[in-house]
Amino acid sequence: MFAATMKEAVEAAGRFPRLRSRIEAAGAESTGYADAPDDTFAYGLTALLDGLTARLPG
């Protein structure tokens, strides 16, 4: 069951190479899969602000 779930997760993350690589490495304990990258907050904030900017008229 876990293998099927992981396969679906990899397929869903296909367009996002960084996410896909983290999901594919989930089975290895030494990868620190649960650890967030150092720039997680900045990346998320930038993505949020870019999305809001794209919705502004003009």
Digit-coded pLDDT (tens) for 29-53: 545 555 677 788 899 999 999 999 9
Mean per-residue pLDDT of the chain: 80
Range of the domain at 9: 2-55
Residue listed under structure tokens 């779930």: 5
The predicted structure's pLDDT at residue 1: 60
The predicted structure's pLDDT at residue 52: 96
Q: How many domains does the chain have?
A: 1
The predicted structure's pLDDT at residue 19: 86
Distance CA(45)–CA(42), nearest Å, equals 5
Of residues 30, 29, 34, 33, the one with CA closest to residue 21: 33
The predicted structure's pLDDT at residue 2: 64
- Residue 22 has a CB neighbour count (10 Å cut-off) of 18
pLDDT band at 11 (very low <50, low <70, confident <90, very high): confident
